[in-house]
Amino acid sequence: MTKLERAIKEAEQLPSDLREQLGEKLLHYIHKYLALRDDIDAGLRELDAGEGRDGNDVFAALKSTYGA
């Protein structure tokens, strides 16, 4: 059993309102992760194509978007 499967099994024991809150937070985290992964992939494709951008501009945009 994976850690995620264990967490889901334990979460099923929580009251429904807490399960909803937990689900919302998990979905939000997953969507942020997937968006960041897509942005990184796009950036790598640009670098591979020789379309590099100034690193300071890139990191400023990432911090603004993802609050890092």
Residue-wise pLDDT tens digits, 39-60? 999 989 988 888 877 888 888 9
Please give the pLDDT value at position 68: 63
Which pair of tokens denotes residue 19? Answer: 């399960």
Q: CA torsion angle for 55, 56, 59, 65 (degrees, to 10)?
A: -130
Domain count for the chain: 1
Asked if the model's pLDDT at residue 7 lies above 90, the reply is yes
Residue 54, SS3? coil
What's the domain range around 52? 3-66
